[in-house]
Structure 1
């Protein structure tokens, strides 16, 4: 599927009852910090994304957010987490859940490939003002 053939409409199968090549889907993305949906389960979406550099500080007041590293290393800084301020480092094959309401900022010194799991309609830049990194929801690939 080319960049121009991505859809904002969920395919009828929503990624169910089929094998999904996550790395192959990520290879179709031509930029960083642009999550694309590959499947849905109930009201949750599975999104693939390539990231590099620092994202902005943001939070999601009403939902947790799951980060699963497929390739590379991702640092996630956080403020006012369950044990205060801190950061975690995730490597390929590792995951973390950022609890709702915890302000966080992902950072990748080199390109990282991720799978994100979050409810449908969650804005990638969180509850604050939109920015140049805010992407339209429900971009399927």
Structure 2
């Protein structure tokens, strides 16, 4: 059994994570960051839940046009496999990421 208060979690570096659970090859990790990630494509689907803070999510459509959406606490971003995206936190943010274990 494990309890985690997301708003109290910090890491020693941007995108540092705490493993919350592994469920049949799926990982749930709590990330802390105050810096953007990098443009990337996951090898599977990804669920991105903002628990604390604000994140501007940039993503590319099939025609390579860039879109963005402002995510606040309680907002969820779903990226299907192959969706290129990057998260830009506005200050500190805590994010729950659910994805295939070992995915980046």
Q: Same fold per TM (> 0.5)?
A: yes
C-alpha distance in 1 between matches for 2:80 and 2:60: 11
Using CA pairs below 8 Å that are at least 6 residues apart, which structure has the higher relative contact order?
2
Q: In structure 1, which of residues 19, 23, 30 is the aligned counterpart of residue 6 of structure 2?
A: 23
C-alpha distance in 1 between matches for 2:73 and 2:29: 16
Whichever structure has more strand as a proportion of its residues is 2
Within the alignment, does 1:50 sit opposite 2:48 as a pair?
no
Q: In structure 1, which of residues 19, 33, 42 is the aligned counterpart of residue 15 of structure 2?
A: 33
Deviation at 1:31, TM superposition (A): 2.0
Q: 1:115 to 1:22 in 2, by over 3 A?
A: farther
Number of matched pairs:
103
Q: 1:79 to 1:87 in 2, by over 3 A?
A: same
Q: Extract structure 1 runs of 4+ deviating beyond 3 A.
A: none
Structure 1 partner of 2:70: 89
Deviation at 1:25, TM superposition (A): 7.1
Superposed CA RMSD: 2.0
Unaligned runs of 5+ in 2: none
Structure 2 partner of 1:73: 54
User: What TM-score does the superposition give when structure 2 sets the normalisation length?
Assistant: 0.85
Deviation at 1:48, TM superposition (A): 0.6
Q: C-alpha deviations, 1:45-99, integer Å up to 9, x for none? A: 1101111122211111x301111111100111011259x5311111111111111
User: What SS does the corresponding residue of 2:6 show, helix, strand or coil?
Assistant: helix
C-alpha distance in 2 between matches for 1:37 and 1:25: 15
Computing the radius of gyration from Cα coordinates, the structure with the larger value is 1
